[in-house]
Amino acid sequence: MDKIFELIEAETKRQHEQVQLIPSENFISEEVKMALASDLSNKYAEGYPGKRYYQGNKIIDEIENLAIDRGKKLFGVPHLNVQPYSGSPANSAIQMALLNPGDKICGMKLSAGGHLTHGHPKITFSGKFFNSVQYDVDAEGKINYEELAEFVKNEKPKLIYAGTTAYPWIFKWDEFRKIADSVGAWLVADISHIAGLIVGGVHPDPAPFVDVFMSTTHKTLRGPRGAIIGVTERGIERDEKLATKIDNAVFPGMQGGPHMNTIAAMAVAFEEDGKAEFKIYAEQIVKNAKVLAETLKNQKIKVFGTENHLMVVAVGEGRGKEMAEKLEENGIIVNANTIPHDTAGPLKPSGIRIGSPAMTTRGWKEKEFTKVGIRIAACCQGR
């Protein structure tokens, strides 16, 4: 056997033998996997359905239209682009559509749980080509909406991001809307982490409040690696050309040919996400995360969260990486993460981030999450 397939087999085994608690990861279904591995990977289809630059795309058009229709229904929006290669290029496309170089962009600080693509200074596309201003969270890791309102009134950004990678609390979309309206800013929700919770009905839906939303499709949505950009009714009311601007920014602005195997796999995942079983799955994700957080708190461990699928756990100043490695030795996979107002700095984070989506897919319930919580606590306390 080719070495690479031996390695793939070894990785599959690792994924199933260890406890996977990284909140951005999940396990896709066999059907999603089949679409990903299909001959659609062979086809070039630059453009959009009905407007392709290559011949031979009649079936491809049907596939992309099906993915779009299922996604629009799932998220209740009038326009959806399913071509972004992943979350980061989707955010770049949104910025290309709505901003000019040098315009002011506002996102949450990386150290507070924001994403690199939301204007992290200097080393990222969004931080280099735009004038970036960033907001923090309070000592409990929560957004202080009054302070954010003041910050935004002073800074007057043209675009505001609401969305993070390590925020264990519910987003108040209506507060974000009021704040964006106070300066006429575009409001973009990045729901990469929580999209599955939103369609599963266990987190409030941003669609009535934001102009644009984006999401990766491989986290709680449990689809292929990829991303979508949705334009809401509100966004189209504000600018009737908004959907066209977004589409043009994705192609030809940022990307070339769409990955049609990924888009077909999204269509499969969206169908799964709309089922009654998925609602039960989303509810169980939150129940499991709550039980895990309570278990750790009962062992006198400082936990930030949780109202969703993840929590940030303080493990001692600068000891996040060391603890993540120790847990790995015990077969438990998490990642080191800064805690709110981390005193050790971003290179030596003082926490770990833990999430329930992947193991919930594998059938874990409260009992298993309590057990793993006791083991994590024992590791953290050197027992």
Ligand X SMILES: *Cc1c(COP(=O)(O)O)cnc(C)c1O
Q: What is the contact surface with ligand X in residues (CB under 6 A)?
A: 24, 86-88, 115, 117, 163-165, 190, 192-193, 216
Say which of 225, 234, 287, 348 is annotated catalytic: 225
At its nearest, how many Å lie between ligand X and the CB of residue 298? 29
At its nearest, how many Å lie between ligand X and the CB of residue 109? 13
At its nearest, how many Å lie between ligand X and the CB of residue 165? 4
Say which of 44, 61, 297, 321 is annotated catalytic: 44
Q: What is the dihedral of CA 346, 349, 351, 352, to 10 degrees?
A: 80
In the complex with ligand X, the residue whose CB is nearer, 86 or 330, is 86
In the complex with ligand X, the residue whose CB is nearer, 86 or 370, is 86
Say which of 219, 222, 290, 353 is annotated catalytic: 219
Distance from C-alpha of 192 to C-alpha of 216, rounded to nearest angstrom? 5
In the complex with ligand X, the residue whose CB is nearer, 157 or 163, is 163
Dmax over Cα atoms in the chain, in whole Å? Answer: 64
Distance from C-alpha of 143 to C-alpha of 51, rounded to nearest angstrom? 43
The answer to whether the Cα torsion of 222, 115, 162, 71 is positive or negative is: negative
Shortest-Cβ-distance residue relative to ligand X = 87
- Could you confirm whether 72 is annotated as catalytic? no
Of 378, 379, 27, 93, the closest CA to residue 228 belongs to 93
In the complex with ligand X, the residue whose CB is nearer, 52 or 120, is 120
In the complex with ligand X, the residue whose CB is nearer, 57 or 255, is 255
What DSSP state is assigned to residue 339?
A: P
Of 155, 216, 207, 214, the closest CA to residue 180 belongs to 155
At its nearest, how many Å lie between ligand X and the CB of residue 273? 17
Task: State the CB neighbour count (10 A cutoff) for residue 235.
Answer: 26
Say which of 25, 190, 273, 307 is annotated catalytic: 190
- Could you confirm whether 319 is annotated as catalytic? no
**Residue 310 C-beta-side C-alpha neighbours within 13 Å:** 29
Which residues lie closer than 8 Å to 174 by C-beta, 6 or more apart?
209
At its nearest, how many Å lie between ligand X and the CB of residue 115? 4
- Could you confirm whether 46 is annotated as catalytic? yes
In the complex with ligand X, the residue whose CB is nearer, 93 or 268, is 93
- Could you confirm whether 225 is annotated as catalytic? yes
Distance from C-alpha of 201 to C-alpha of 277, rounded to nearest angstrom? 12
- Could you confirm whether 44 is annotated as catalytic? yes
Residue type (1 letter), 301: I
27: left (phi over 0), alpha (psi -120 to 50) or beta: beta
Say which of 43, 46, 233, 375 is annotated catalytic: 46
Helix count (H) and strand count (E) of the chain?
15, 15
Say which of 117, 124, 165, 216 is annotated catalytic: 216
At its nearest, how many Å lie between ligand X and the CB of residue 117? 5
- Could you confirm whether 174 is annotated as catalytic? no
Active-site residue list? 44, 46, 190, 216, 219, 225
